[in-house]
Structure 1
């Protein structure tokens, strides 16, 4: 079929001879396009987007300042004749027309993202001389693109960060702080603030973007907006007006937010920036806006407690008691709740401990890193920001999205340990019932009119979609909160909702009609990519259901990690088959014509839902009874064996963590894992560059190797390769710790601590994390108190002290996580070797390991793990030149366990251990270790080395006992006779008896 000739109106635009005719053509094209998707498709295929990019780029290139405009009245950022007003009108019409195209659906995003038009728009938005009339249309375009990004392809759901990378770059991020930082003076500014905050809430998913938003002032600008709502609601702390001149405050109270302003987008933006980072959360709580309305309260004392010294200074008497113990007036707005009767402890035992060291270590249920407890200052019971009770008040007083966002932010702050301890009771009685009520079908979301957030689905659906996710974050790893949620019927409600997400959906949307009866949305391959529409993608309702299902699965997983009765309740509600269906991925390519009805199990699930389903399945596998019945009946292994080969590495990690529990010795799935040829895949993943995947794969292999046949163990060693095993076990476990300790000492000896090495070994300037020299100079000037005249954009750039703290703590988080990951890889590898050399046929496997890895190399590596270490320090008169570095306890436990099993082998295996020049000598220094498992294992080594298998080994046992006695083992054992741990005391009695009986005979 011959393509139609170019329409006259498009020819008029292409051949415009003046800016006024160009604007008229754009206006006419806009009027013909808005509301007509088929015309939009035609215009795109005829090259409208590159044409619009050229029109807008002329404005971007022009970029003239206000002063230049006054001097050159006739100057225009275009080659066409006309005034500046006509040029602005043409650009505005082009922006509005582009906005109409982006609302056509997911298929229109491909040409928009492939062209250069979004960077041009952001350059215009960031320009200092950009007309104010451009701001709202551009922000609406960016929000429209952000809303439709998830609809493009479910395989890449939440993975397309092209717009976020542009918006949060150093070139454009300043415009966000400028827009959000303006006052709520007009309706236009109000809409711009909410649209800019909405962009942050929709696009900020990457850790790097969150750090930049905190560092470049966007988080502080949002904090001022939060403070404006606090002022408008009348919750400013009494007397705060007397502290507005304090260092770090704004200088004056921010103007109150107008009646029509929405709080939900502001709270959402704050939440997505601070979540998973205690340091960013503290950065928000210490921002100028929050400090101004909630100044730190100084306890007052009675005049009789204040004494005056002879030289004129004052001091407090020894019996002085503060009148106010840190409580805020906001506390009186919250109801009294009964104190908790359940001890808040996460030590509840699962049905089985993970194979490995029998200590308190367990894998957490959450996937995000916890805060560094070693760096936290001692937390005071009264040291809580008034933002917390204010948010709890909002949860009770507000409705709709504002209530949910307040609940989400207070949940994040609670998870980051920034609330009082007694808040657990208040969360149990106030927050959990409200979140559960939001799951009801008839929940009233009054207060949210139309579609205030998301742009594509009603706010009622959005609230129901996100409420389970907030509940999951709140109760995870907290048995008390889980108990209250379970008693509130949360498991039953969530189970019913999960079933409902599989109800067939008949969507009314249909594809565009074409005269030839064929759909031509993709266009010709010969056309430029910016002239071809992408695939139609998925409907907003379908993506809403997928997100809803994801959050329900997260909530179910968060409720059941510790209590077998909760896991059984999930099974009794009949949702295990639905969880298994949620493990099935969606097809690689979206269908050209969406089928009706949709939402069946065959339609599959996107990556985030797969991750949530793996989390739910993993929690259920902690129950022996559920694992042996419901999960097997539902066929849990089949989809997992597919997901372990899935292209997305996060899905591989999640699936491997489930297989890790399926591979336990009592699991009926263990043989299925071996027979399904999963071992080669696990061995391959153990070599991955992704540390998390290496750890999970080694953990699964460790479980497979326990109490299995020697041919399977040999297969594992062959798959891992002896060279790789040598490389892992010969690494020094204290390298990163030593480097970090040296850096800390260097920082403390250098005034200000100007730089430090990050996890990649690069030097990081902590005062100036952003690579802009001019900005660095400005930051160094911002150490004085802020001017008190008015709120200005400059104050949204954190001062040098706050920026340094933010960068320092973020960098230490990375360093600590890297150290923990390296230690975990070594620990799991040593545990795997331990399981290989225990059980039936252990002696043969010890010989096999000696042959494959090398007898001397293996024993030298084991001895080196026990070697005491020290690191050189910079020369300082007040400190020694070296500092001792402790070998991580996890490595010690794993290494000594391995030695125990070697000592349980043949007599000549024991003789190898005794004859090694360093191994036992190094071991002696750990008999009085602070960890009970290390002490117990040291005693077990003595028992195994001196235990007499038969009469033929009597003389060998006596020689080994004499050797142990000569290096001081009796003194070490004597020091453990009164150990506080019963197991250590009992094992010590056995060891003393064996050594004494052999050496005195």
Structure 2
């Protein structure tokens, strides 16, 4: 059977003739670049292990028993490595499946070995290009780069002069290699430990110097690396700001110059770097530049095409998150209508005769995320989103094939549901409850988490969706999620149940506890996650509020002894939120009947802790401690037990302490203190 020319090229990879080998590699390279079908063909021939072995071959001057390595000497040897690295790089640009095959065949370390500055510049560039493609994949293992001298070699390559370029062509090639090195570094900053190792290797001065080079792509890569090195890292953000370039320019001023560049890509990456520094609180003196330069730049970039438009909403969302002033500024800059236009346009594409691309999925996700950020704190932002008439698109997005889009749709719904008016009208009218409820069972834990968090708003006492959610089996589903091994899902589920019974009728509380059980509640109160403990205690607080019959149900459910043991134990914690929720439980119990109050009065440790917390640094804790005292001294009638309680509390020093608090700095505390002093006076 006759061989095809491709099979012939593959067979020639076993040749001992170096010229034949180089020729075969070049043939393969020329066929696969930009051609996915040919890439798949050659991968099917299983040539990746051979390519890795070529890149991994030792030099001819080193001792080896390999006949092939002995034959491949001098320049021809280097050519083999270069061509093999180029082919590997082309495969890597073919997608994550190809990257996975290269990684599994041990291709990363040999490529990293090639980037030493003592090697041929063309080999370095070919290896760096392949590594850039490999590290673009989120599944690529980054550990090898932090072994041996690999990171040190990359830092050296950030200097375009490191390869001693002579001609203009060589200078351009060196700048391109610096760009590749910076991009690789940017892709290896996933964890704080990785950030630290890269910083300790001297990346900051080298990257800041690269910002001032004459090559735009290298500047973009340097900005990208600096942005990822300081993301969520205040210390590194400040260190970058304090790093000077060779021209003694402040790096922030360089970034502010680059954000005005003609290139949309440059403006975007500069805006991202400045956004990360701003989020790190590393540039407080540039607050005006953030609101007057960075934010408007990002809003204008929403009008661009391609990757810039796709990424701009994502950066904008990160910039304005948790900042109401910036959210207002973004709304004033007409960002809502631009983002709503993106959502509508992508939705129209998805319903057209052709399939929307993966890029449109990401664009829609980022646009929804930015709208969620813009309306998370700013009420007028929520109104603008509703007025943009995209709520039907949000509902539809909850069934989108992309989990990122589904998650973003939930996030936007959560932001909008913070407005009681919007929750009662627009969201209800759009029929959002059913699609949102389905997402509690989504295959993605990220989607489940945010859907569960969104439901926390939907089940509050003022929500018209509360009964609908109960009819859909909301209690059963939230209780199911309470048992999730995922900490965030478990937290949001218990949070949702807590909101569900807040100011609820007794029948709803009973329905919840029949399914959740008091035994499970006690387990959650001792959950390994503090946040889960806090919400579980808050749930217990809500169960024991409003009515004596509800308090009695809690006593029956947990048992008086166990309930008081929980309270006594949690009062000894140092976490202020745990303390506050526990004090609220005591306050609610103390609002019950005489038996309920006596369960507290017989516990000296509980009483002593209440007294101690009346001098706590946090006014919230002082306030609820005084509430406990008010309820314990409240006289429903002139019952002898009331006088006994007051006498005991006086002996412990409560009256003396509350009088000292008459001029407390907090107004709410002072008001409660007045009531407490008055009640002591009535029973003197």
Same fold at TM > 0.5: yes
Contact preservation (8 Å) 2:453, 2:492 = yes
The match for 1:906 is: 593
User: Which of the residues 532, 544, 548 maps onto 2:363?
Assistant: 548
Q: Deviations over 1:536-594 (max 9, x none)?
A: xxx9x8232222222222221222223322211110111112223333342xxxxxxxx
The match for 1:272 is: 228
In the TM superposition, residue 194 of structure 1 has moved relative to its aligned partner by 0.7
In the TM superposition, residue 107 of structure 1 has moved relative to its aligned partner by 5.9
The match for 1:188 is: 173
The match for 2:185 is: 200
The answer as to 2:566 corresponding to 1:864 is no
Equivalent-residue separation in structure 1 for 2:351 and 2:666 (angstroms):
64
Map 1:151-550; keep pairs closer than 5 Å.
Answer: 160-167=138-145, 172-183=150-161, 185=165, 186-202=171-187, 204-226=189-211, 229=212, 257-258=213-214, 262-287=218-243, 289-290=244-245, 293-294=247-248, 386-396=250-260, 398-421=262-285, 423-440=286-303, 460-504=305-349, 542-550=357-365
Q: What SS does the aligned partner of 1:503 have? A: helix
Equivalent-residue separation in structure 2 for 1:888 and 1:865 (angstroms):
9
Q: Which runs of 5+ in 1 are unaligned?
A: 150-159, 230-256, 295-329, 331-385, 444-459, 510-538, 587-604, 732-820, 870-886
Equivalent-residue separation in structure 1 for 2:199 and 2:364 (angstroms):
31
In the TM superposition, residue 958 of structure 1 has moved relative to its aligned partner by 1.9
Contact preservation (8 Å) 1:63, 1:129 = no
Equivalent-residue separation in structure 1 for 2:351 and 2:107 (angstroms):
36
Equivalent-residue separation in structure 1 for 2:352 and 2:386 (angstroms):
31
Contact preservation (8 Å) 2:208, 2:251 = no
Equivalent-residue separation in structure 1 for 2:256 and 2:538 (angstroms):
46
Q: Deviations over 1:514-550 (max 9, x none)?
A: xxxxxxxxxxxxxxxxxxxxxxxxx9x8232222222
Contact preservation (8 Å) 1:179, 1:193 = yes
The match for 1:140 is: 129
Q: Deviations over 1:219-268 (max 9, x none)?
A: 44323323xx0xxxxxxxxxxxxxxxxxxxxxxxxxxx235664111101
The match for 1:964 is: 649
Contact preservation (8 Å) 1:125, 1:175 = no
Map 1:557-568; keep pairs closer than 5 Å.
Answer: 557-568=372-383
CA separation of 1:846/1:127 partners in 2, compared to 1, >3 Å: closer, same or farther? Answer: same
Contact preservation (8 Å) 1:214, 1:220 = no
The match for 1:843 is: 548
Equivalent-residue separation in structure 1 for 2:139 and 2:7 (angstroms):
38
CA separation of 1:56/1:392 partners in 2, compared to 1, >3 Å: closer, same or farther? Answer: closer
The answer as to 2:454 corresponding to 1:643 is no
Q: Deviations over 1:306-355 (max 9, x none)?
A: xxxxxxxxxxxxxxxxxxxxxxxx8xxxxxxxxxxxxxxxxxxxxxxxxx
CA separation of 1:481/1:100 partners in 2, compared to 1, >3 Å: closer, same or farther? Answer: closer
Q: What SS does the aligned partner of 2:429 have? A: helix
CA separation of 1:959/1:398 partners in 2, compared to 1, >3 Å: closer, same or farther? Answer: same
In the TM superposition, residue 12 of structure 1 has moved relative to its aligned partner by 3.8
The answer as to 2:46 corresponding to 1:18 is no
CA separation of 1:465/1:895 partners in 2, compared to 1, >3 Å: closer, same or farther? Answer: same
Contact preservation (8 Å) 1:126, 1:174 = no
The match for 1:521 is: none
Contact preservation (8 Å) 1:176, 1:218 = no
CA separation of 1:575/1:849 partners in 2, compared to 1, >3 Å: closer, same or farther? Answer: same
Equivalent-residue separation in structure 2 for 1:11 and 1:970 (angstroms):
92
Equivalent-residue separation in structure 2 for 1:44 and 1:836 (angstroms):
63
CA separation of 1:501/1:708 partners in 2, compared to 1, >3 Å: closer, same or farther? Answer: same
User: Which of the residues 78, 81, 87 maps onto 1:97?
Assistant: 87
In the TM superposition, residue 627 of structure 1 has moved relative to its aligned partner by 0.8
Equivalent-residue separation in structure 2 for 1:689 and 1:3 (angstroms):
58
In the TM superposition, residue 666 of structure 1 has moved relative to its aligned partner by 0.9
CA separation of 1:99/1:982 partners in 2, compared to 1, >3 Å: closer, same or farther? Answer: closer
Q: What SS does the aligned partner of 2:504 have? A: coil
Equivalent-residue separation in structure 2 for 1:976 and 1:35 (angstroms):
77
Map 1:941-952; keep pairs closer than 5 Å.
Answer: 941-949=628-636, 951=637
In the TM superposition, residue 686 of structure 1 has moved relative to its aligned partner by 3.5
The match for 2:581 is: 894
The match for 2:494 is: 698
The match for 1:327 is: none
Q: What SS does the aligned partner of 2:441 have? A: coil
Number of equivalent positions: 677
Contact preservation (8 Å) 1:396, 1:403 = yes
User: Which of the residues 555, 570, 573 maps onto 2:385?
Assistant: 570
In the TM superposition, residue 118 of structure 1 has moved relative to its aligned partner by 3.5
Q: What TM-score do you get using the length of structure 1 for normalisation? A: 0.62
Quote the RMSD (CA, aligned, Å). Answer: 3.4
Equivalent-residue separation in structure 2 for 1:648 and 1:92 (angstroms):
42
Equivalent-residue separation in structure 2 for 1:567 and 1:705 (angstroms):
27
In the TM superposition, residue 897 of structure 1 has moved relative to its aligned partner by 0.9
Contact preservation (8 Å) 1:102, 1:145 = yes
The answer as to 2:78 corresponding to 1:88 is yes
Map 1:670-819; keep pairs closer than 5 Å.
Answer: 670-717=466-513, 720=516, 722-723=518-519, 725-727=521-523, 729=525
The match for 1:376 is: none
Contact preservation (8 Å) 2:410, 2:451 = yes
In the TM superposition, residue 642 of structure 1 has moved relative to its aligned partner by 2.9
The match for 2:168 is: none
CA separation of 1:611/1:125 partners in 2, compared to 1, >3 Å: closer, same or farther? Answer: farther
Q: What SS does the aligned partner of 2:161 have? A: coil
Equivalent-residue separation in structure 2 for 1:207 and 1:680 (angstroms):
39
CA separation of 1:395/1:11 partners in 2, compared to 1, >3 Å: closer, same or farther? Answer: closer
CA separation of 1:546/1:204 partners in 2, compared to 1, >3 Å: closer, same or farther? Answer: farther
The match for 1:157 is: none
Q: What TM-score do you get using the length of structure 2 for normalisation? A: 0.89
Contact preservation (8 Å) 2:55, 2:84 = yes
Bigger fraction of residues in helix: 2
CA separation of 1:651/1:959 partners in 2, compared to 1, >3 Å: closer, same or farther? Answer: same
Equivalent-residue separation in structure 1 for 2:95 and 2:564 (angstroms):
64
Larger RCO: 1 or 2 (CA < 8 Å, sep 6+): 1
In the TM superposition, residue 719 of structure 1 has moved relative to its aligned partner by 5.0
In the TM superposition, residue 108 of structure 1 has moved relative to its aligned partner by 4.2
The match for 1:629 is: 425
Contact preservation (8 Å) 1:78, 1:87 = no
The match for 1:817 is: none
In the TM superposition, residue 270 of structure 1 has moved relative to its aligned partner by 0.7
The match for 1:370 is: none
CA separation of 1:219/1:164 partners in 2, compared to 1, >3 Å: closer, same or farther? Answer: farther
In the TM superposition, residue 708 of structure 1 has moved relative to its aligned partner by 2.7
Contact preservation (8 Å) 1:63, 1:77 = no
Equivalent-residue separation in structure 2 for 1:426 and 1:79 (angstroms):
59
Q: Deviations over 1:122-161 (max 9, x none)?
A: 3x325576433212222222334455x4xxxxxxxxxx32
Contact preservation (8 Å) 1:580, 1:639 = yes
Contact preservation (8 Å) 2:537, 2:582 = yes
In the TM superposition, residue 508 of structure 1 has moved relative to its aligned partner by 12
In the TM superposition, residue 957 of structure 1 has moved relative to its aligned partner by 1.7
Equivalent-residue separation in structure 2 for 1:580 and 1:691 (angstroms):
27
In the TM superposition, residue 9 of structure 1 has moved relative to its aligned partner by 1.3
Map 1:39-58; keep pairs closer than 5 Å.
Answer: 39-57=38-56
Equivalent-residue separation in structure 1 for 2:634 and 2:499 (angstroms):
28
Q: Which deviates the most, 467-476 or 904-913?
A: 467-476
In the TM superposition, residue 729 of structure 1 has moved relative to its aligned partner by 4.1
Contact preservation (8 Å) 2:116, 2:124 = no
Q: Which runs of 5+ in 2 are unaligned?
A: 166-170
